[in-house]
């Protein structure tokens, strides 16, 4: 007898341990399919992913299980931030257990996603997919369009030229005479918080999709985001370039060395405000961060970062450092109207 499918809505802030472990089982399979070269992510990392979200972040999961077997079969999720910008956007993820594919689970999981999106005023849904993966075919079937391309870049630490990054650090003050670097672990110190929040707007100049607005982070939002991540167990490193005459943060770079998979470190944003560009601050920041990683996290095997394929400046720096483009990703965008039309056609309405 065919097992009946049961779909359960899960608010992660109220989820039971059993629900979280069922979601983790599927999430870790998704991670292993996407990054087969990496060690599997432990349950603790999945919990940190959920607990690290700030109060202005909204997230819901829907879990499909076999009613008789209790086996997790598939899940979908929607998440977005309730801030002043990009109030029309929501991020959707969906994954089906390899043994449960092509069984019509997707429409049942996407219906509640569409309902929440409509209720919350989200009219544009997006997801990142590997180039030429099966998911891209499904995205096209739903009516989604690809908006941007990114490279996933990896730096094998064994191949990193330490003399190169040390020379970048040594020469940096020649071009950036009015600047110094400040390091902090964890949340941004209070004395830099206002200007650090302003410096984050430098990332708005990175290439992005046509329907994405500039991000504006208030200082209290930056503070909460960072504090929540640290409380959840993440290791957060920041180097900031300080403009000495003004005392303001001119640029920054952030890295997450993994506490759960110490072989890995994720290089996150590197941004410099327009008034402070063309002084080599980006190279200085990235090189200094890699020097620190070599000294304090010798167990790291590789550093992962992402760049838009048309971001020639940052790609050039990463290629000089030894980062290799290992995968190409695309951001796919689906209007809520198109999703609802697809769901309506599936139900015969």
The pLDDT, as a whole number, for residue 254 is 98
Q: Total structural domains in the chain? A: 2
Model confidence at 208, pLDDT cuts 50, 70, 90, reads confident
Comparing 54 with 70, the larger pLDDT belongs to 54
Domain assignment present for 138: no
Full residue range of the structural domain in which residue 25 is found: 5-122
Q: Are residues 110 and 44 in the same domain?
A: yes
Domain assignment present for 343: no
Q: Are residues 162 and 64 in the same domain?
A: no
Sheet holding 5-10, edge to edge: 5-10, 57-66, 72-81, 89-96, 124-130, 324-335, 145-156, 302-308, 264-272, 248-257, 237-243, 179-185
The CATH number assigned to the domain holding 198 equals 3.40.630.30
The pLDDT, as a whole number, for residue 2 is 63
Chain centroid to Cα 330, Å, comes to 13
* C-alpha radius of gyration, the chain, whole number: 21
Cα–Cα distance measured from residue 61 to residue 325, given in angstroms and rounded to the nearest whole number = 32
Residue 24 reports pLDDT greater than 60:
yes
% of the chain exceeding 90 in pLDDT: 81
Domain assignment present for 34: yes
The pLDDT, as a whole number, for residue 1 is 46
Model confidence at 309, pLDDT cuts 50, 70, 90, reads confident
CB-based burial of residue 274 (10 Å sphere; 0-12 exposed, 13-18 middle, 19+ buried)? exposed
Q: Are residues 10 and 157 in the same domain?
A: no
Q: Are residues 100 and 25 in the same domain?
A: yes
Domain assignment present for 303: yes
CB contact burial 298-315 (16+ within 10 A = b; e otherwise):
eebbbbbbbbbeebeebb
**What is the distance in angstroms between the CA of the first residue and the CA of the last residue of the chain?**
29
Whether residue 154 contacts residue 326, with contact meaning beta carbons closer than 8 Å, is answered with yes
Cα–Cα distance measured from residue 165 to residue 288, given in angstroms and rounded to the nearest whole number = 7
Residue 9 reports pLDDT greater than 60:
yes
Cα–Cα distance measured from residue 139 to residue 117, given in angstroms and rounded to the nearest whole number = 17
DSSP state of 157: G
Q: Are residues 77 and 207 in the same domain?
A: no
Q: Are residues 158 and 117 in the same domain?
A: no
Q: Are residues 82 and 217 in the same domain?
A: no
pLDDT digits (tens, 9 = 90+) for 139-189: 998 999 999 999 899 999 999 999 999 999 999 999 999 999 999 999 999
Q: Are residues 117 and 161 in the same domain?
A: no
As a dihedral over the C-alpha atoms of residue 227, residue 231, residue 233, residue 234, rounded to 10 degrees, the angle is: 0
Model confidence at 105, pLDDT cuts 50, 70, 90, reads confident
Q: Are residues 177 and 324 in the same domain?
A: yes
Q: Are residues 311 and 167 in the same domain?
A: yes
Domain assignment present for 214: yes
Handedness of CA 152, 215, 220, 127 (dihedral sign): negative
Domain assignment present for 146: no
Q: Are residues 189 and 115 in the same domain?
A: no
Domain assignment present for 230: yes
Q: Are residues 179 and 82 in the same domain?
A: no
Cα–Cα distance measured from residue 99 to residue 314, given in angstroms and rounded to the nearest whole number = 40
Domain assignment present for 147: no
DSSP SS3 for 265: strand
% of the chain exceeding 70 in pLDDT: 98
């Amino acid at each position: 007898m065919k097992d009946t499918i049961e779909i359960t809505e899960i608010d992660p802030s109220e989820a039971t341990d059993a629900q979280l472990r069922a979601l983790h089982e599927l999430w870790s399979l998704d991670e292993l399919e996407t990054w087969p070269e990496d060690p599997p992510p432990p349950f603790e990392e999945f919990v940190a992913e959920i607990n690290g979200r700030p109060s202005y972040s909204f997230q819901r999961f829907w879990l499909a299980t076999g009613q008789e077997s209790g086996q997790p079969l598939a899940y979908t999720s929607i998440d977005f931030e309730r801030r002043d910008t990009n109030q029309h956007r929501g991020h959707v993820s969906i994954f089906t257990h390899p043994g449960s594919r092509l069984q019509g689970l997707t429409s049942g999981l996407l219906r509640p996603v569409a309902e929440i999106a409509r209720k919350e005023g989200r009219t544009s849904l997006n997801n990142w997919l590997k180039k030429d993966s099966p998911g891209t075919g499904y995205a096209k079937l739903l009516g989604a369009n690809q908006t941007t391309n990114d490279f996933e870049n990896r730096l094998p630490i064994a191949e990193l030229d330490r003399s190169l990054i040390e020379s970048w650090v040594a020469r940096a003050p020649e071009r950036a005479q009015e600047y110094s670097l400040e390091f902090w672990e964890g949340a941004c110190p209070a004395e830099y918080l206002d200007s650090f929040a302003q410096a984050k707007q430098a990332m708005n100049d990175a290439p992005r999709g046509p329907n994405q607005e500039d991000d504006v982070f208030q200082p209290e939002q930056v503070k909460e985001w960072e504090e929540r991540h640290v409380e959840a167990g993440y290791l957060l490193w920041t180097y900031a370039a300080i403009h000495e005459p003004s005392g303001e943060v001119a640029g920054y770079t952030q890295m997450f060395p993994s506490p759960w998979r110490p072989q890995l470190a994720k290089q996150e944003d590197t941004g410099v405000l327009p008034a402070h560009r063309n002084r080599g601050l980006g190279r200085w920041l990235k090189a200094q961060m890699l020097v620190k990683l070599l000294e304090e996290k010798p167990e790291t095997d590789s550093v992962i970062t992402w760049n838009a394929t048309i971001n020639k400046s940052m790609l050039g720096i990463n290629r000089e450092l030894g980062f290799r483009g290992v995968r190409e990703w695309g951001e796919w965008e689906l209007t809520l109207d198109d999703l609802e039309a697809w769901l309506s056609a599936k139900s015969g309405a």
